[in-house]
Amino acid sequence: MAALNYHHLRYFWMIANENNLTRAAEKLHVSQSALSIQLRQLEDSLGQKLFDREGKRLHLTEAGRIALDYANAIFKAGDELVSLMHGRPASMRQLLRIGAVSTLSRNFQLELVRSLLLRSDIELVLHSGSLRELLAQMHTHTLDLVLSNRPIPRDAENNWHCHLLDEQAVSLVGKPVEGEPMLRFPEDLATIPLLLPSMESEIRAAFDFLLEQAGIRPQVIAEVDDMAMLRLLARDSGHLALVPPVVVQDELRQGILVEKHRISAIRERFYAITPNRRFPNAMVRELLKVSSRDKIGNASG
């Protein structure tokens, strides 16, 4: 096996960061044709294509993304060596990039990654966004894992794997009121203002269907697509909110909010979506193994 040419690797690193062969050649003070040859030699030595080309645009392949991660680690190690020789501490950490849909409970995310935060050998990068945005990032190999409250079907174009991490019944929660009678579900909801997840939420769809079957038209005071905001509104408004208990676990523990009614027929499910890759991040496998063993819901109610 041929030894890795670090000169070629530095050139590749510059191309990947500039995302443009011409700009990289200008910064490296070499001709574009010479740079192309160096890149081709690196690809030949690794036995993998590192870029897909669309006109003048370059896109990292899966192998290219892995090579870039290693190149970043190698050059960072060089910087840390210099730092170490000058008496400054150095460390090597493995990168794990996780995306989470903005509607997902922050408490659930925290319970999932809590053990990783205690490890000095892992650098954790967390992104938030819409499911479409995050899946697009995973498709371009800039995310290793996407957390979602919706499953994603596999198809010919996107060979995702969808792992069920946990599920729990949702509840109507509100501030405790002394002497308040027990909530009669669902009949009392015809007259009580409610804070609900947005129409795109699966638990909202199930909730609406349940009330429709009972002939109840709810008084919706607000629709919220962010669980963190729904939690704050439940704390401060005095209205009932429809949430998975994990969203308000701290408030329930402290008695700031109480469960008025748990709706066992409606379940919130939490998924980890991973790509089918030739070079999977080993930390993803470890994280899924831990979560399936410990079941996040055991810690979140």
User: pLDDT at position 118, please?
Assistant: 83
Closest-CA residue to 276 (of 191, 183, 162, 197): 162
For residues 132 and 267, give the distance between their C-alpha atoms in angstroms, rounded to a whole number: 23
* Token couple for 47: 């036995």
pLDDT at 300: 40
Predicted pLDDT at 87: 64
Domains (ranges, CATH) in the chain? Answer: 6-85 (1.10.10.10), 94-166+270-300 (3.40.190.10), 168-267 (3.40.190.290)
The pLDDT score that the predictor gives to residue 271 is 93
Q: State residue 301's pLDDT score.
A: 37
Q: What is the mean pLDDT of each run of 10 residues along the chain (301 residues)?
A: 82 90 90 91 91 83 89 81 65 80 87 84 87 88 89 76 90 93 93 92 92 94 90 92 93 95 93 84 81 52 37
Query: What confidence score (pLDDT) does residue 252 get?
Result: 95
Task: Give the closest residue to 300 by CA, choosing from 109, 120, 144.
Answer: 109
State which H helix or E strand residue 229 sits in: helix 227-237
pLDDT (0 to 100) of residue 88: 60
At residue 216, φ and ψ (nearest 5 deg) are: -105, 130
